[in-house]
Amino acid sequence: MLILIAGPYRTGTNDDPELMQKNLDHLQSVALPLFKKGHIPMIGEWIALPLIKLAGSDKPGDKAWEEIQYPVAHRLLQKCDAILRLEGVSKGADEDIRTTKEKGLPVYYRLEDIPYANKD
């Protein structure tokens, strides 16, 4: 499965780059274990951040940021098979959960709950 890893990125950081990186590190901390379970991990920021930079964003929350950050996750969810919601307050991740549930796709809250993929 292609599984979107969702959780806090900007929320609660007051746009401090170090705190935002710490949140991204936390999201990424489950990517390799998820891959080892036979799935493809995806984090919206892996796509959004380079695009935001290319769009000339100066800071989180500016026009380029807003035009790209959340729409990337929304578009990714159209391709994902499930979502892994990590703990922590995040309006964006909560919206991702709502969308995922509406599509009838699995929502996981713990890595341990995600089954191993069938081997081909």
The CB-side HSE value for 9 (13 A sphere, CA atoms) comes to: 20
For residue 82, which amino acid is it? A
Q: Give SS3 for 30.
A: coil
Look at residue 9 in the predicted model and tell me its pLDDT.
96
At 115, the pLDDT band (50, 70, 90 cuts) reads very high
If phi > 0 it is left, if psi is from -120 to 50 it is alpha, else beta; for residue 62 that is beta
What's CA 119's distance to the chain center, in Å?
25
What's the angle, vertex CA 111, arms to CA 110 and CA 114, rounded to 5?
A: 100
Query: 64-104 pLDDT, tens per residue?
Result: 999 999 899 999 999 999 999 999 999 999 999 999 999 99
User: Partners of 6 in the beta sheet?
Assistant: 85
- pLDDT above 90: percentage of residues in the chain: 93
At 120, the pLDDT band (50, 70, 90 cuts) reads low
- Taking residues 24-36, what's their average pLDDT? 98
Contact 30, 109 (CB under 8 A): no
Look at residue 100 in the predicted model and tell me its pLDDT.
94
- pLDDT above 70: percentage of residues in the chain: 98
Domains of the chain: 2-111 (3.40.50.10400)
